[in-house]
Amino acid sequence: MLHVVTGAAGFIGSRLIAALNHAGITEILAVDDLQDGAKVKNLAVADIADYLDRREFLSQLETGRLDGGIEAILHQGACSDTMENDGRYVMETNYAYSKALFDWCQDEEVPLIYASSAAVYGTGKEFGETRENEEPLNVYAYSKYLFDQYVRKRSQEGGSQAAAQVAGLRYFNVYGPNEAHKGRMASVAFHAFNQFRAEGRVKLFVGSDGYEDGGQQRDFVHVDDVVSVNLWLLEHREVSGIFNAGTGRAQTFNDVAAAVVNTIEGFDLSIEELIEKNFIEYIPFPPQLVGKYQSYTQADLSRLREAGYEGSFRSVEEGVAGYVRELMKMKS
């Protein structure tokens, strides 16, 4: 029986396959779109049973060729560019494709664990997984929001529970290994590392929405911590629902920059000292992001904890420092 991972060559998908391999699982069907061939190196060290293009995978599901052969689907594949303006492409990739997987999984009673996003909360300040907190600001966020609504509706049709486990994870700001191919959509930590290595300083936005320079706060979560939530759900198939996947702590962009610089240089300087030494520079806030920017996010983990998940999540100081050390080894 195959464990299917979509978005397998991508950031979270490739780390998920690595974790499955570590757990002794190698009967894995890797599904992705390798039009961007740069992603393939994320799969080069993976132990998998087979690879299928995302379109061919859907075709094989629809023709019944994979009936009875799939243990679970871990659906990480998506267009994750929050600045993508081609709404038709985003909706086909993120919404229509996900609906097809959900319908097949319910028909075949196969667990589906899928990637949602904290982008569905927009500029709100409440992050519980309820409809009143959801206000997507771009087509990417809308595609994730709409699929969550589809799952909610279909899972409760006729007053009955879903035929098989279906669990969505609203990822907050994920960072860590295997994200280099994401370009502008890579994490703040990744960009800060490269900026400091190239220019000797980290560039952050000036203050916005009432926050001081670099003081905007996000819930920054290490990729391996969200992978751990995926694996826990895979082991607890009685758990269904939509859950936040973050640390439950909001930390500033300044905190991320400080962790990057201090780790590279072996310092233990405060943010104020780093600013004074010009290791952190503030740049104008992009006009195109005004009114469309999440200046504050913090995962409410109540529902995940109530479901039974007891795992811990790394702080920026711990997680970013460890990530930077890995990047330094790769660059040396």
Active site residue ranges: 140, 182
**Distance (Å, rounded) from C-alpha 77 to C-alpha 50?**
17
Residue 204, SS3 per DSSP: strand
Tell me the HSE value of 233 on the side-chain side, using a 13 A CA sphere.
31
What is the three-class DSSP state of 244?
Answer: strand
Phi-psi region of 301 (alpha: psi -120 to 50; beta: other; left: phi over 0): alpha
Residue (of 178, 213, 193) closest to 41 by Cα position: 178
The rounded distance, in Å, linking the Cα atoms of 309 and 228 is 10
Contact (Cβ atoms closer than 8 angstroms) between residue 213 and residue 252: no
Q: What is the number of helices (H) and of strands (E) in the chain?
A: 11, 13
Distance CA 196, CA 63 (A): 51
Instruction: Give the residue among 3, 38, 34 at the shortest CA–CA distance from 19.
Output: 3
Query: Checking DSSP bridges between strand 217-218 and strand 251-252, what pairing results, if any?
Result: antiparallel
285 DSSP assignment: P
Q: Determine the length of the chain.
A: 332
